[in-house]
Chains A and B, each alone.
Chain A
Amino acid sequence: AQSVTQLGSHVSVSEGALVLLRCNYSSSVPPYLFWYVQYPNQGLQLLLKYTSAATLVKGINGFEAEFKKSETSFHLTKPSAHMSDAAEYFCAVKDRGSTLGRLYFGRGTQLTVWP
């Protein structure tokens, strides 16, 4: 089974500062990779996904992530944090060779943005 590790269950940044949320996966074959955002008592919203050759993926709300095969990582960044970015973020993977669409999730990172 896939394993997804999100380093840091809580990250705090000041408004305007760089946001960096870390994600590492375990499989030897690079999977499909996703970042989702969740606001309190809401479902998950897709921020971005990596499915093909372009290793730098741009998503919504100014977020982007870079796939690094050598590091088995897919870290999420945003150059300048906004108060509205405060939420929980989940990294997820899907087996590339599987017809089943199930996702394997990390434990989540709660992002706090200070004014």
Chain B
Amino acid sequence: DGGITQSPKYLFRKEGQNVTLSCEQNLNHDAMYWYRQDPGQGLRLIYYSQIVNDFQKGDIAEGYSVSREKKESFPLTVTSAQKNPTAFYLCASSVDTEAFFGQGTRLTVV
């Protein structure tokens, strides 16, 4: 089945650590996105990539980094510079007018 796979589903981070969230898609989509979801805030765009080896900052990129070395993969690193990383993170890909979402990763700082 085609889709987007995010891993892990739950992730715990100690303060000062960098952590990487995985996002893999087999839909052959060029465009991929990372959104952050906080209660009552909706989804906010962190980074996006329209093609391999290219990516752009979204609305809340500070404290995050990404790479796009392969079409299928768009990992997100939450760095120690992100002061409030506890949130639900959603990866998406899109073609034409439709976006497809992964099942999300819930990151908690302990």
Interface of B is mostly: strand
* B50 CB-CB contact with A under 8 Å: yes
Contact with B along A30-49 (1 / 0, CB 8 A): 00101010000111111001
**CB pair B104 A43 closer than 8 Å:** yes
Residues of A in contact (CB 8 Å), total 25
**CB pair A105 B90 closer than 8 Å:** no
Residues in B neighbouring A34, C-beta threshold 8 A: 99
Give chain A nearest CB distance to B5 CB in angstroms. Answer: 11
19 additional contacts, CB 8 Å, given A41-B88, A43-B6? A4-B42, A32-B97, A36-B101, A41-B9, A41-B104, A41-B106, A43-B4, A43-B102, A43-B104, A44-B43, A44-B90, A92-B43, A101-B33, A101-B94, A102-B33, A102-B48, A105-B35, A105-B44, A107-B41
